[in-house]
Structure formats: structure tokens, C-alpha cells
């Protein structure tokens, strides 16, 4: 079983995306930004590892959290990831942003009361919460998306709209502290939006709708 390093190099990002954007070191984090990545069994490998690699290579400190510590496997490959901390072992104050990758894991995560409470409480602080693909399902269960502009995998569009979401079929949508994207082809926009929002909290009009190559 393949096991990737916790902080993969940017080569992994480029391997999955097939694009090689110019990286500006002027955008590197001045102070270490602490980011939690919420996963469980059945996570999507690229949607977890690519933002982690992108942000770690810009100086962020990444912690993988989940319902309990241990190794979990992606649903779409034999890649694994180590959950370093359970949600009941961390505090919202430990982190500056929260990322929820997609895959089958969000359907499991939303069944865990402690995870849903953590996601809800984190969102309500106003700190950045970023979810891609099926990731918004956790936030739907948390009840924080009513009236928000957002996107996600097309298969959960109806569910999101029933939760009060103004759904947009775009690569990345930002509404206040919420960042959402649809699928793996959007990962560059998703990762760049997290970086820019954590640093300077720009408006949605300041985030490119297509990758900058």
C-alpha cells in the first residue's frame, strides 16, 4: 500500500494537474499559518494532498485531523494518509483555516457529532473554511450554509440548494469566510484561493476563475 509523505513536494501537485503555474515567493506566508485538513476513510487523494502540498510549500503548517487518529485510505487509489489528531484533541484556536476534501469521507464525517460540531464552531468564528467536491456535505449537516454562495460536486447540488445555498457552477466561489470548489480540475483555483484568503482576505472578484499558467 502506497503511503505519501505528509508534506508532498509541488511535483505531486503538477503530476495530478498537468499544469505548471509560476510560483511567486512574494506571496509566501510571513508568519506560519496553521491549517487543519479534515479527512476520514475514503477521502479523495488529490483533493487532500494537492492543497496540502501547495500550502505547505508556501510556508503553512498542516495538521491532518479526523474522528480518530490512525491511517485512512483514499477511495480512488491505494494512497493513505495519517490522521495526526482527533477533533476532540484539538481546539479551534489551534488553527487559522480548515480544509474539507471530498471523496466518500464527507458522508462518514457528517455522521460524527463531534466532527460536525467542530466544523460548525470553526465556521462561526469567521476563520477560513474551504471545502471541495463532496466536502460541503459536512457544512450542510452543520447548518451553516443557508443563504451562502457556494459550489460543490454537481451530484450534491440539489442537497446544497435545499440547505439554502445559492449554487454557482464555477471553479471557485468565495462568500465571506467560505471557499468552495467543484472537482479535481478546480484544485489550482481552490488552493490559490485559500492562500490568498488566509493572507489578505480578498473578495471573490479578486480570485481568478481559471488557473494562471
CATH of the domain at 196: 3.40.50.880
Which helix or strand (DSSP H or E) is residue 172 part of?
Answer: strand 172-175
For residue 32, what pLDDT band results from cuts at 50, 70 and 90?
Answer: confident
pLDDT, mean of residues 84-88 = 98
**Rounded Cα–Cα distance for residues 151 and 177 (Å):** 14
In a domain, 42, yes or no: yes
Which residue is listed with cell 457544512? 139
In a domain, 209, yes or no: no
For residue 26, what pLDDT band results from cuts at 50, 70 and 90?
Answer: very low
Q: What are the DSSP E strand ranges found in the chain?
A: 34-38, 61-66, 70-73, 80-83, 85-86, 97-100, 128-132, 149-150, 166-167, 172-175, 178-181
CB of 142 within 8 A of CB of 123? yes
In a domain, 3, yes or no: no
**Rounded Cα–Cα distance for residues 206 and 30 (Å):** 21
In a domain, 5, yes or no: no
DSSP assigned state of 27: G
In a domain, 208, yes or no: no
**Rounded Cα–Cα distance for residues 77 and 72 (Å):** 12
Number of domains the chain is built from: 1
In a domain, 207, yes or no: no
pLDDT digits (tens, 9 = 90+) for 120-169: 999 999 999 999 999 999 999 999 999 999 999 999 999 999 999 999 99
In a domain, 1, yes or no: no
In a domain, 128, yes or no: yes
For residue 30, what pLDDT band results from cuts at 50, 70 and 90?
Answer: low
* pTM (2 d.p.): 0.82
Structural domain for 33, as ranges:
10-201
Can 44 be counted among the known catalytic residues? no
Annotated catalytic residue within 25, 44, 134, 168: 134
Beta carbons within 10 angstroms of residue 69's beta carbon: 13
pLDDT digits (tens, 9 = 90+) for 128-137: 999 999 999 9
Amino acid at each position: 500500500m502506497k503511503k505519501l509523505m505528509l508534506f508532498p513536494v509541488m511535483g505531486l501537485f503538477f503530476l495530478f494537474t498537468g499544469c505548471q503555474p509560476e510560483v511567486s515567493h512574494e506571496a509566501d506566508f510571513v508568519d506560519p499559518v496553521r491549517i487543519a485538513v479534515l479527512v476520514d476513510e475514503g477521502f479523495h487523494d488529490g483533493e487532500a494532498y494537492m492543497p496540502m502540498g501547495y500550502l505547505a510549500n508556501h510556508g503553512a503548517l498542516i495538521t491532518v485531523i479526523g474522528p480518530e487518529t490512525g491511517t485512512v485510505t483514499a477511495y480512488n487509489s491505494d494512497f493513505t494518509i495519517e490522521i495526526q489528531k482527533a477533533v476532540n484533541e484539538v481546539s479551534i484556536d489551534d488553527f487559522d483555516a480548515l480544509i474539507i476534501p471530498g471523496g466518500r469521507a464527507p458522508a462518514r464525517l457528517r455522521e460524527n457529532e463531534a466532527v460536525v460540531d467542530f466544523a460548525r464552531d470553526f465556521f462561526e468564528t469567521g476563520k477560513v473554511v474551504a471545502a471541495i467536491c463532496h466536502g460541503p456535505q459536512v457544512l450542510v449537516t452543520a447548518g451553516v450554509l443557508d443563504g451562502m454562495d457556494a459550489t460543490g460536486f454537481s451530484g450534491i447540488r440539489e442537497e446544497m440548494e435545499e440547505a439554502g445555498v445559492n449554487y454557482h457552477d464555477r471553479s471557485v466561489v468565495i462568500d465571506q469566510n467560505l471557499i468552495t470548489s467543484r472537482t479535481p480540475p478546480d484544485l489550482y483555483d481552490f488552493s490559490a484561493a485559500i492562500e490568498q484568503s488566509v493572507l489578505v482576505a480578498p473578495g471573490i472578484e479578486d480570485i481568478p476563475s481559471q488557473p494562471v499558467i
